[in-house]
Chains A and B, each alone.
Chain A
Amino acid sequence: MNDPRERQDDAARRKAAEPTASILLEAPAGSGKTAVLTQRFLKLLTTVDDPGQILAITFTRKAAAEMRTRVIRALRAELPAADPGAAALAPLAAAARAHGAARGWKLESEPERLRIQTIDSFNYWLASQLPVASRAGGVLAITENAAELYRRAARRTLLAAEGDPALAPDAQLLFERLDNHWLNLERLIAQMLEQRGHWLRFVIAEDPDSLCRRVNQSLAAETRARLAALRTLMPEPLRRRAESLPGSGPLGSEPADLVHWKHFAHLVLTRNDWRKQLSAHRLRPGFTDPAVRMQLKDLIDDLRGAAGVRAALLELRRAPAAQLEEADAAAIAALARLLARAAVELHAAFAEAQRVDYTYVTGAARQALAEGGEPTELALRAGLALRHILVDEFQDTSLAQVQLLEALTVGWEEGDGRTLFVVGDPMQSIYRFRDAEVGLFLRAGASGVGRVALEPLRLLRNFRAERPLVEFTNELFSQVLPAVDELRAGGVSYRESLATRAHAAGLAGIPPVTLRLYPDGPAAEARAVAARVAELRGLDPAGTVGVLVVAHAHAVAVIAALEARALAPLGVDLVPLRERLVVRDLVQLSRALHDLADRAAWLAVLRAPWCGARLTTLAALSGAHDRELVVEALSNPERLARCDVGDRLNLERVRAVLGAALAGRGVQPLASWLEATWLRLGAADAYAASELADARAFFAALAEQATTHEWRGPEDLEPVLERLYGAPAGGENPVQVMTIHRAKGLEFDHVLVPALDRTTRAPERRLLRWIDLPGETSESNLLIAPAPIVGAREEEGDLNGYLKDLLRQHETHERARLMYVAVTRARRTLWLSASVTPGADGTVKPDRRSALNVLWPALAARFETVGGGDATGAAPARTGPLQRLLPSWRAAEPPPPIAVRQLPPPYLASEPTEFSWVGETARHVGTVVHARLARLSQEPRLPRPEAISDEGGAVLAELARAGVPERERAQARESVLAALVRTLGDERGRWILDSRHAQAHSEWELSGLSGGRLRSVVIDRCFIDEHGTRWVIDYKTSAHQGGGLEEFLDQELERYRAQLATYRDLARGLGPEPVRAALYFPLLGELRESG
């Protein structure tokens, strides 16, 4: 081990696995980070009383699952012998097992005790374990589709602003800036709500101007830092000379000095370079004197020699003022007020929907840990409970996440044995779109996280790639990534790796690195990629192959080409299905069924392959300003007669199916209903089998949306379609096609990265542009600029333009890192390609937003241009647009059903077909009378009616228990007593209640078969009388005033006839006795038998 870097690497590895120090570990791709993490985790297990004292955080479910699996496998001694880390882990795992056994834990079979989780799930856990501190209240349901809630909140905000004098001027100001475009502003506010993690903390402060103050502070800090850096670049003698020029001022580092610096920059620079022409008329007044001009010339000559000054001055010219412009400040203040209101509206929308987004959960977790910036008692408790925290992929942390870590470690003291271990690779920071900020990693190295200082360590060895690839990577990225870390621009310098794997032979004709350009278009490139994969399969059948693309859409051509060569690709969430015809047909079918007036949807349904109606037919069924809807026209014989004869059968069939579907709408679950309808239309035969798989994905996604109760109508199809991807199934050792983001953490023997020329969707215009630059301390430098006024020209020094540039730089740096991630997935061979069209002069100019653009300066000369080529797998010829089921088509004969034997169906309809509201008290009277009659029927001797009046007190108590309000109780008591007295005074009443009857029951709960249905009933009274007849009697406590008693009783009997019939029917099953059924009216002393 002669190379000192190897020794350095060893030392870092040893130190990183030691569980005593807090560490920031830089672990480049292939450096064996997972092994170090696992070792440390296992060692930590031997130091704690409870495994729950160790928390390992990752950012993706996949990473958490992988780390957990690895730790568990190590603990269970299940790591394959071939695993390079297995030998080192075995003794550590044994020690951890022994330590656990001594304390009563057995992690190998109790893996749930390991706290290895994603930051989201940790936040969720915190928020739900602390519902009061987090203000979450109860169980939080998270929506995947918060866009609708953002939109709703944004609309309510603007509507409220129209009528609220306090907000109206703010809304007015923004409308003016945005050309009075309501939907645009609404959309932008909704977008801001989605991103509220960045600004909410500033606008919920009481002072609406605090956001501006915050931005001004940041601008001042930025200015200071920039000027200080310039002063370092420009030695004092030069500065003095500059200050002595006419019109100049002090070139200090205070914000107020910026104006002098800018003046100076304009003086010495033209657009892109040092000023050469120093004629008086080009310069400002004061330079008429040739001596002064000579002074300037000398100064410029001397400045040429000062490294970095030109670039810094050029950049300075575009730098914003150290203080917000008045108009911008006014717009930001207005926005702050409006956004504060929008946040309140969003809170209300969440409460209404009983659903929240992840940002809410993160906020709630933070809230639980820190109230008003101070750690809550819980934060201190949590911190005490946790002794060690490990964070993987730290380069992808966001500010909010770092703040969470700070809150968790707030009570930690130096030397108390608790450790924080953060590991990552800043060169692999590629999640800006999820708010990751690589500057946080860089800052943590310098100043730790919160109060915890971290010792920076770096791994150097690469165990993954063979030597030629490591060398290529070192060479390429030392040019592509910046020379030094650039915190402001989000740039990370390259960290070289040491190769450890020699180049293995056996891939004749395939070099370690292939760089190709295809001028014949993406299809030619895709075919070449497929050809290379086929070649690799032949030479290295066991080798894994990954085709990595920047965005999903870029994989489409490659997948088609691979499939054409029968190379069975495997992809996850890869192929967007929203534009597939089979899916589009389903979208239109669901629209049509939802809205009979949606003419375009109905026509599309008739044009879909299950019907395939001709244009002439469509014209017969639908016209401009048609008074009939298409669904009506389909039933109009006169219009049908005008349809193409060849279409009529299909139209009939479609009409019948859709008619039945409409009749059953709203009863079945949405996806099931739609699927059944689609199937009945003939879809199974109308599409190719591969298309059916796409439809299946659609139904699954639709069911998912509907079962979360987030379905209102077809407008909610959008989020369904957005998440709709096909997944090519693959086979044995399939070619894995995926985005580079998804490939992070994976490795392949052979990696192909095609479509480098392609660009991704540009970020949308925003209401605010912002950037949260990590400051020297924990607070960030937040720069915000409101959206520029529509139609206004951008000017130099304009904050918005400056931020735009800055964000662009961040993007470019991240694109370079994305390429680093892609390239470093390879173990043996790498392929990079693009399809480009050279310009008239034969040169290639990659698109600024493409990955090729970042590689171009380093690789332009090395790319080989390949024209023509193999046409295997060329895109199939286009088919005609209109497909339809053959006229002879008949639905397939379904397989015979399985004759499942079931119980008779239960009776499920409402009993009385009419619904009448009896007064609340009357209902309670009925309940008490029923209960009392049931009790009386158990008395060996029935009391006389007079004796019942003594029961008044008890009846009152029962009525009170039943919930009769006090003021109505006396009256109710009288009713109850009257019913009892009347019954006991009535011979038939006494006969009914007689306990001496055979097989007597009261309030009898019976089940059985009646009318072929399973029924369950409660029979008030049932017995066999002295003549051997079984009676079933139902009490009705209805009262009747006025005349027509007989009529009333007949009506009641009629009303309950069906019910009595059921009772009678069931009672017949009780024995051979004849059965009679009747109603008894205790308040009236009347018995009515049902015939």
Chain B
Amino acid sequence: MIVPTRQRSHAVSLAYAAALLEGDARVWASPKVLVPAAWLRRECERRAERAPAEWPRLLGPAEEWWLWRQAAGEAAREAAGQNPFLSIEPLAQALRRASERAAEWDIALARAPLESEPGLLFEARRIFTARCRDLGAASVGALIARLEPVGATEAPRLRGFDAVPRALARLAHHAGTAAAAREAGTRVSPRGVRTADGEAQLEAIAAWCRERLRASPEARLLVMLPGPAAARERLADLIGGCLDAGAVLAGRGDGRTLAGIEGGEPLASQSLLAQALLSLTILAGGALEIESIGHWLTSPWWGGIGAAPRAALAQFLRERAGASSSLRELLGALQLAPGELKVAARELEALARRAAGLLGEGSASPRRWSERFDAALTALSWPGTLPPEGAAQQTRLRWRELLEEFGELAACAGSLTREVALAELRALAAHTAYRPADEDLAVTISPMLADPVVTYDGIWAAGLTADVFPMPAAPDPFLPPEAQLTAGMPEASAAGRRAQARSLLDAWRRSAPELVLSLPAREKDLGLLPSPALEGLALTDEAPASLWLPLTLHREGCTEGREDARGAAFTSPAPLPSGTRAVTLQNECAFRAYAELRLGAVAPEHAEPGVPMDQRGLLLHAALQLLWERLRDSATLGSLEEGALDALIEDCVARGAEVLQVEVRGRRRRARRVPDGQFDLFSVLSPALTRECVRARRLIRRLCDLERTRTAFAVEATEHTTELALAGARVRMRLDRVDSVASGRVVLDYKSGRREAPDWYGERPTYPQLLAYLAALGADVVGLATVNLSAREVRFTGVAASGDVLPKVKAIPAVTGAAAGDWSAQRQVWVALIERLIRDFLAGEARVDPVPGACDYCHLTDLCRIGAHLAPELHAVTDEADE
């Protein structure tokens, strides 16, 4: 029997098996249910068996694919000139399909201008044929014309075609080209259903399936649901859930053994295979973005190294490797893994090195590459341990078949470099459609509106709107339109499509005792018209109750609220984690302080290209530290010639960059030293860092100009670390800079981000760390300020005992009338505030209580569940972004 698609062939085989098993058979000759291409191939083989010398070798599927790509590429290059095609792959597929159609429908191709569609097809096929001739081979399509019709007794039965291609009809002794319409049998009257929208349609289908199967557990149902694949996925889940909720809840499979979807997906999109291809890309030395490397490492398809250490390694690499890295760079970064990851890092390195070695390089035949790909993946422990049966095992088997097919390219592709071989394998995997074989399904969900061929107990054809059924005409753009019409290709014209729709409707009506035709009334706010093929059919509006498992299982009143604003107290004798950052966070949001510093829920770090923000700050800090170590005071600064100052800044920035180079690979910078072997990687400044140095020089120069306007000062300390006992805790702090001025000391904190309008006197001041420094340094501090260093501005933002301490920094508001008294009183308020924050931190106080704006750049919104507090409204941004 010949049927149009593999899906129908599978359905017929299953129906045949069911019928025989019903009759108690245990074994039987496998039915021969073939698709046209397979049947034609078999016929060619049979003829060739009798006269092997007269028949060329038949190309394998991969060979044919490859040769068409070559032919399409060559023809397209000629045709396109300066303006290349988007991609050869789809062009090759389209040309190949057109050539096959021409053969199937007896359409002769004629030479035409190369820039026209038929012209390009003619040329590509000429090239393809010439290549075949060189190889002593031919495609099945090319041999159709040579085939004689089979003997009348051997004539296969054609089922499921709404129009039989001419060549097939001729060879198979089929009378006429339209097969289905004349078949005998009773026709059922369809029932028409309209639902409010697509989702309700899925619910209606699921309800129908459930009722039919409940009434008759051996029933077999067919649902045809054209349109996006996601709807079929959702329907399969919906049906699976309502047929066997227990299986879903117990985590047994996904209900797909009851309701499954027909049709294939690109093999390359299978997660197992995507991992294989990604692994090979990495092993072959390709540079990948760090996110892809993360996916590679956290994929489930590994053996050997456990999932947890791999995840930790991935995280480590995100922090330490470049934004995009090659295998060599990855291996380099792995050397820096911290103690707890060393074993896993070494293991990974060993696997990768061995696998890369087995992959090798240079050029080789596709077969050789297939062997190497397989060996390399095995060495890498891909895909880990798979269950002996099931989808993953099948996919793995299909991968091996793919490697076999790729190996068969040896005859036509010659020798390939590693990169080309890998690219071709990737393309072949993307081109190959695949879906793991299904079991005997109670409900088959098909994306196609097609003749079912076998009899079902019920058929539901869904989504029958005017723009879907009849299907829109889609003539092949590479074949002359008139020839397509003459040949009777149904897809070539609206009339052909209408005839096709009639034929399909007829096929559905005789293929089941129950037929439902449905459509949604709307898609969002778009009203949908019923298909004209449903004319005369009364449509019943259906609004079924939801069968979605979470809703059907839902019970109200199963939850309770819990007050939980305080966590575990900090009782360690160690200093506060992260020093003054604990105070800052506790002030901004107690929950955040707890989550970040006590639970370790730090913001995920991502390698960035260029010079990431934190490192820009580091460079400025390092350079300014060096600068002030040399300058020491305002007098020296003032006395320097312009040129000399510039030279000094340049030198300090250059040395700062050196420091950064050593530390550039991670934020936990102070804890790490780079092993000697790594220095060579950084011996030349990257273009981005070179640019950053220029920027830093510019900013520091602007700062120096500002510093020159200050009253006399001396820099007492830079990057000064100290520890303070406060509110029963040890607080470590690192002060960017402390200056001494005539009236006392000034604490300065460099800031390279945007300046905020600070609040110094409120309950929750903007810069509590500065207040902590104040508490640490004692009573002679007379000014606190951030030094804002950004392209937008360079300035001091702060508060001081008097107005002459820093440029544009005002004295604190007068309260007592005596500035010193005001300052000292305020100082006490500040110290008390800092102590309270520290006490809260120690007590584990973790209220979700952010200061305004704190949540804007916080990564913990989903952990603190701030959404439960917020009004359900989006923030509307009012400011113009570049003002």
Contact B609 A182 (CB under 8 A): yes
Does B871 touch A at the CB level, under 8 Å? Answer: yes
Task: Tally chain B residues at the interface, Cβ within 8 Å.
Answer: 209
Contact A619 B597 (CB under 8 A): no
Contact A180 B610 (CB under 8 A): yes
Known: A624-B597, A685-B555. A961 touches B527 (CB 8 A): no
Q: Nearest-CB distance from A662 to chain B (Å)?
A: 7
Cross-interface CB contact of A712 among B292, B437, B597, B611, cutoff 8 Å: B292
Does A266 touch B at the CB level, under 8 Å? Answer: no
Contact A894 B217 (CB under 8 A): no
Chain B, residues 426-445, CB within 8 Å of chain A (1/0): the string is 00001000001101111000
Chain A, residues 854-895, CB within 8 Å of chain B (1/0): the string is 000000000000000000000100111111111001011011
Known: A683-B550, A699-B234. A908 touches B27 (CB 8 A): no
List of B residues within 8 angstroms of A629 by Cβ: 308, 311-312
Which one, B35-43, B247-255, B722-730, is touching chain A?
B247-255
Contact B577 A624 (CB under 8 A): yes
Does B778 touch A at the CB level, under 8 Å? Answer: no
Cα separation A129 to B475 with both chains bound (whole Å): 8
Cross-interface CB contact of B30 among A360, A615, A1005, cutoff 8 Å: A1005
Cα separation A760 to B876 with both chains bound (whole Å): 6
Does B416 touch A at the CB level, under 8 Å? Answer: no
Scan residues 500-550 of chain B and give those whose CB is less than 8 A from a CB of chain A.
524-529, 532, 535, 548-550
Give the residue name and chain of the B residue nearest to A958 (CB): B52
Cα separation A791 to B698 with both chains bound (whole Å): 12
List of A residues within 8 angstroms of B430 by Cβ: 354
Q: Nearest-CB distance from B331 to chain A (Å)?
A: 20
Give the residue name and chain of the A residue nearest to B671 (CB): A625
Cα separation A631 to B308 with both chains bound (whole Å): 8
Contact A65 B688 (CB under 8 A): no
Contact A903 B440 (CB under 8 A): yes
Which one, A132-140, A490-498, A828-836, is touching chain B?
A132-140
List of B residues within 8 angstroms of A875 by Cβ: 871
Does A246 touch B at the CB level, under 8 Å? Answer: no
Known: A892-B553, A931-B49. A920 touches B407 (CB 8 A): yes
Does B614 touch A at the CB level, under 8 Å? Answer: no
Give the residue name and chain of the B residue nearest to A758 (CB): B876
Which one, B78-86, B153-161, B650-658, B738-746, is touching chain A?
B78-86
Give the residue name and chain of the B residue nearest to A60 (CB): B526
List of A residues within 8 angstroms of B688 by Cβ: 162, 175, 180, 182
Known: A162-B687, A664-B251, A707-B233. A112 touches B599 (CB 8 A): no
Task: Tally chain A residues at the interface, Cβ within 8 Å.
Answer: 205
Cross-interface CB contact of B86 among A113, A350, A669, A960, cutoff 8 Å: A350
List of B residues within 8 angstroms of A133 by Cβ: 115, 117
Cα separation A629 to B311 with both chains bound (whole Å): 9
List of B residues within 8 angstroms of A909 by Cβ: 388-390, 393-394, 397
Contact A616 B568 (CB under 8 A): yes
Contact A894 B233 (CB under 8 A): no
Known: A356-B86, A686-B558, A1006-B28. A882 touches B865 (CB 8 A): yes
Contact B470 A662 (CB under 8 A): no
Known: A903-B439, A915-B374. A584 touches B867 (CB 8 A): yes
List of B residues within 8 angstroms of A881 by Cβ: 848, 864-866, 868-869
Q: Nearest-CB distance from B15 to chain A (Å)?
A: 10
Which one, B88-96, B627-635, B640-648, B674-682, is touching chain A?
B88-96
Does A312 touch B at the CB level, under 8 Å? Answer: no
Contact A906 B439 (CB under 8 A): yes
Contact A136 B79 (CB under 8 A): no
Cα separation A742 to B526 with both chains bound (whole Å): 11
Contact A614 B564 (CB under 8 A): yes
Contact A354 B87 (CB under 8 A): yes
Contact B791 A790 (CB under 8 A): yes
Q: Nearest-CB distance from A909 to chain B (Å)?
A: 4
Does A281 touch B at the CB level, under 8 Å? Answer: no
Cross-interface CB contact of A179 among B17, B695, B859, B870, cutoff 8 Å: B695
Cα separation A671 to B564 with both chains bound (whole Å): 32
Scan residues 937-975 of chain A and give those whose CB is less than 8 A from a CB of chain B.
953-954, 957-958, 960-963, 965
List of B residues within 8 angstroms of A69 by Cβ: 527, 529
Cα separation A662 to B312 with both chains bound (whole Å): 16
Contact B29 A1005 (CB under 8 A): yes
Contact A689 B554 (CB under 8 A): yes
Which one, B55-63, B769-777, B804-812, B832-840, is touching chain A?
B55-63
Q: Nearest-CB distance from A915 to chain B (Å)?
A: 6
List of B residues within 8 angstroms of A112 by Cβ: 466-467, 470, 472-473, 494, 497, 532
Q: Nearest-CB distance from B38 to chain A (Å)?
A: 13
Contact A1006 B30 (CB under 8 A): yes
Known: A110-B532, A886-B560. A623 touches B311 (CB 8 A): no
Give the residue name and chain of the A residue nearest to B600 (CB): A624
Cα separation A131 to B882 with both chains bound (whole Å): 42
Contact A604 B863 (CB under 8 A): yes
List of B residues within 8 angstroms of A917 by Cβ: 370-371, 374, 407
Scan residues 277-329 of chain A and give those whose CB is less than 8 A from a CB of chain B.
none
List of A residues within 8 angstroms of B866 by Cβ: 881
Cα separation A709 to B230 with both chains bound (whole Å): 11
Known: A688-B556, A689-B554. A109 touches B90 (CB 8 A): no
Cross-interface CB contact of B494 among A113, A584, A699, cutoff 8 Å: A113
Which one, A405-413, A1064-1072, A1083-1091, is touching chain B?
A1064-1072
Q: Which of A596, A704, A891, A1014 has the most CB of B within 10 A?
A: A596
Does A1008 touch B at the CB level, under 8 Å? Answer: yes
Does A978 touch B at the CB level, under 8 Å? Answer: no
Does A657 touch B at the CB level, under 8 Å? Answer: yes
Q: Nearest-CB distance from A172 to chain B (Å)?
A: 7
Which one, B238-246, B352-360, B779-787, is touching chain A?
B238-246
Cross-interface CB contact of B84 among A135, A356, A920, cutoff 8 Å: A135
Give the residue name and chain of the A residue nearest to B877 (CB): A761
Cα separation A1069 to B26 with both chains bound (whole Å): 5
Contact A596 B308 (CB under 8 A): yes
Contact B311 A703 (CB under 8 A): no
List of A residues within 8 angstroms of B793 by Cβ: 791
Contact A619 B466 (CB under 8 A): no
Contact A884 B559 (CB under 8 A): yes
Does B110 touch A at the CB level, under 8 Å? Answer: no
Q: Nearest-CB distance from B726 to chain A (Å)?
A: 20
Does A338 touch B at the CB level, under 8 Å? Answer: no
Contact A666 B525 (CB under 8 A): no
Contact A707 B568 (CB under 8 A): no
Chain A, residues 619-637, CB within 8 Å of chain B (1/0): the string is 1101111110101100000
Scan residues 576-611 of chain B and give those whose CB is less than 8 A from a CB of chain A.
577, 594-604, 608-611
Does A159 touch B at the CB level, under 8 Å? Answer: yes
List of B residues within 8 angstroms of A957 by Cβ: 52-53
Q: Nearest-CB distance from A581 to chain B (Å)?
A: 5
Chain A, residues 888-928, CB within 8 Å of chain B (1/0): the string is 01011011111111111111111000010100100000000
Cα separation A894 to B243 with both chains bound (whole Å): 10
Does B130 touch A at the CB level, under 8 Å? Answer: no
Scan residues 211-264 of chain B and give those whose CB is less than 8 A from a CB of chain A.
213-214, 217-218, 228-230, 233-234, 236-237, 243-249, 251, 254, 256-258
Contact B600 A625 (CB under 8 A): yes
Give the residue name and chain of the A residue nearest to B550 (CB): A684
Cα separation A963 to B61 with both chains bound (whole Å): 13
Contact A712 B295 (CB under 8 A): yes
Does A715 touch B at the CB level, under 8 Å? Answer: yes
Scan residues 615-670 of chain A and give those whose CB is less than 8 A from a CB of chain B.
615-616, 618-620, 622-627, 629, 631-632, 657, 660-662, 664-669
Give 14 A-B pairs besides A671-B230, A709-B266 with Cβ atoms closer than 8 angstroms: A137-B85, A180-B695, A551-B876, A557-B873, A597-B315, A600-B859, A623-B599, A684-B551, A759-B878, A880-B561, A896-B246, A900-B243, A909-B390, A961-B48
A-B pairs with beta carbons under 8 Å apart, 11 shown: A138-B91, A180-B691, A183-B609, A584-B867, A594-B298, A686-B558, A707-B229, A897-B245, A915-B374, A1007-B27, A1014-B17
